[in-house]
Amino acid sequence: MTLSEVIRLLTKKKVILFLRTRAIVDRTVILAQSKLIHLAPRVRINNYTVIKPHNAFVRIGKGTIIGESCVIYGHGGITIGDNCLIAPNVSIMAIEHEYSESGKLYFNQPLKFKGIKIGNNVWIGASATILDGVEIGDNSIVGAGSVVRKSVPANTLVAGVPAKEIKKLEP
């Protein structure tokens, strides 16, 4: 199949192909501040996902697949490793609101940004939430619907609200 045939086929499927990296992004994906988003080779981002770096950066490693309707806010910077699987409806939020000033509206209180680092070969289950300041080690799994507010060591399965270690995985 020639390059022009591939492009024609992908256009019919309503996706955008980044030729240099061979990243595939569905047309309904929102990539705000796209100069701050780095897509490595063979990244796939599915429909209705929103990625907003908010003047920081979002780096997505090679071979990573991001499911439908994910929200990734990169205020503090986000790095996602190679060959990760991020299921639908996952939220990755590198931002935290302060709420220490009583009597002041929440949206008028200060923001904190620590950043998020997700290692290689990490699987994040559907509807999980990864909060600011978290690092997830290589080869780890986050169960569906979990809220991760503390870092996860490599080769670990976590699940729950808040996420807790369920078991160690074979490296």
User: How large is the average pLDDT for residues 3-31?
Assistant: 66
Average pLDDT of the chain, as a whole number = 90
* Distance between CA atoms of residues 26 and 164, nearest Å: 33
CB neighbours of residue 3 within 10 Å:
9
Q: Check if the beta carbon of residue 62 is closer than 8 Å to that of residue 79.
A: no
The predicted-structure confidence for 122-168, as pLDDT tens digits, reads as follows: 999 999 999 999 999 999 999 999 999 999 999 999 999 999 999 99
Q: Read off the pLDDT of residues 58-117 as tens digits, 9 standing for 90 and up.
A: 999 999 999 999 999 999 999 999 999 999 999 999 999 888 888 888 888 888 899 999
Which residues fall within 8 angstroms of residue 56, CB to CB, at 6 or more apart?
36, 74, 75, 76, 77, 78, 94, 113, 115
Sort residue 114 into left (φ over 0), alpha (ψ -120 to 50) or beta: alpha
Beta-strand (E) ranges in 40-161?
A: 44-45, 50-52, 58-60, 65-66, 71-73, 78-80, 85-86, 91-93, 96-97, 111-112, 116-118, 123-124, 129-131, 135-136, 141-142, 147-148, 156-159
pTM for the model stands at: 0.88
Contacts of residue 8, Cβ cutoff 8 Å, sequence gap at least 6: none
What is the distance between the alpha carbons of residues 26 and 144, in angstroms, rounded to a whole number? 23
**Into which CATH architecture does domain 24-163 fall?**
3 Solenoid (2.160)
Q: Which of 38, 54, 75, 97 is catalytic?
A: 97
97 is annotated as an active-site residue: yes
Q: What share of the chain in percent tops pLDDT 90?
A: 70
- Residue 61, SS3 per DSSP: coil
**Average pLDDT in the 34-48 region?**
93
User: Domain-by-domain residue ranges, the chain?
Assistant: 24-163
